[in-house]
Chain A
């Protein structure tokens, strides 16, 4: 662990409220996209918006943006492993 790693200054309440507002707007967006009948890209759009929301929650609510590099590396490793796992499953499923 990096011994020079400093605890960040307190995050203002305002930041949390802004992130929440962004999450609410994105929820509105995903619901309106649902009613807009986007055909083939509908599911992709929904997943992209969900990914954006999850990123916001992890970075700000879960404080990953201010976390130690070790923890960030651990989270990225898990997400990468999951992506590989998901792609391999699909490669197998589509190709059989």
Chain B
């Protein structure tokens, strides 16, 4: 740091008042997004460690709890999320080739698939609630073992947090779709689309682990 300190007065001269030029650096944008994704890894990573330890502690209770979940719903939701990951990856590929309307359509499909996932998940939760299985319910506390309570506690926490990420992802995808339509995201300034895609793939990644751990251990 041998450079002389610039005085505030000089800075005022450098920055144009009306339209400041925002430097665009796609590599920095990508690395910044990944840094954020690392914090998401930690958030879900800790919950996965909790799951692993309790699975070790309450093996048969977790297997019994897993048997209560509907494998068909889980499988369909997995396929929906995988397909939505494909459509968002294709949307980015389309934008790279300057095919704007194809990109917008693929984003629309992604959002529809995401909402389908969310509706199936809500329906699943609703069915569990109807059967009296929800955090702190008397049915769960009195008729189930401690291990099964831990299983459903983690189930609602982790799929709930994941569902929240789905909703944030949908909002982000709709926002970037709007920006593309207004030509504020273009092949030359593609970072917002690419980073939204990264976020959506993260939502997919988490579900890829959630699905076998909750639905397929019975």
Contact = CB atoms under 8 A, between A and B. Distances in A.
Question: Is chain B a partner of chain A in the same complex?
Answer: yes
Sorted from nearest, which 9 A-B pairs have the closest CB atoms?
A46-B212, A20-B86, A34-B216, A61-B89, A16-B89, A23-B82, A53-B208, A62-B201, A61-B201
Interface of B: 27, 30-31, 34-35, 38, 41, 45, 49, 52-53, 55-56, 71, 75, 78-79, 82-83, 85-86, 88-90, 93, 96-97, 197-198, 201, 204-205, 208-209, 211-213, 215-218
Helix, strand, loop or mixed for chain B's interface? helix
A47 B216 CA distance: 10
A86 B49 contact: yes
Given A24-B79, A24-B82, A10 B97 contact: yes
B198 A50 contact: no
B201 A27 contact: no
Contacts of B53: 89-90, 93
A1 B201 CA distance: 25
Interface-central residue, A19, A61, A82, A89, by most chain B CB under 10 Å: A61
B12 to A, nearest CB: 31
A16 B90 contact: yes
Given A50-B209, A53-B208, A78-B41, A16 B78 contact: no
